[in-house]
């Protein structure tokens, strides 16, 4: 993604977190804390409250893909949420 696309996605994700307070600025993680790169089970999907890639939902998709910087994105969302709401 371009810097502009990341910036827009960050604003969108922060806005959704504000609109839906149970939505957390995080993604599925493995036991060691790394971003999971596989599909969640039905039970995990039902319990998770955060950002998902298509690959977290189905084994048939890879997007946003391995080049997507989840840590950069989530840190920027948290930074945006730390600002006063517009």
**Number of CB atoms found within 10 A of residue 8's CB:** 12
Dist. CA 24–CA 52, nearest whole Å: 11
pLDDT band with cut points at 50, 70 and 90 for residue 66: confident
Tally of CA atoms within 13 A in the half-sphere of 70 that contains its CB: 19
pLDDT at 12 exceeding the cut of 90? yes
Q: What is the mean pLDDT of residues 1-28?
A: 95
pLDDT band with cut points at 50, 70 and 90 for residue 60: confident
How long a stretch of residues is the chain? 86
Give me the chain's average pLDDT, please: 92
Specify whether the CB–CB gap between 82 and 19 falls below 8 A.
no
Specify whether the CB–CB gap between 62 and 54 falls below 8 A.
yes
């Amino acid at each position: 993604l371009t810097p502009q696309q990341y910036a827009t996605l960050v604003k969108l994700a922060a806005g959704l977190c504000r609109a839906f307070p149970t939505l957390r600025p995080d993604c599925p993680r493995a036991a060691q804390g790394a971003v999971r790169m596989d599909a969640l089970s039905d039970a995990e999907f039902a319990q998770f409250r955060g950002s998902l890639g298509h690959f977290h939902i189905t084994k048939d998709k890879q997007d946003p893909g391995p080049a997507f910087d989840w840590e950069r994105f989530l840190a920027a969302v948290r930074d945006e949420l730390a600002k006063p709401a517009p």
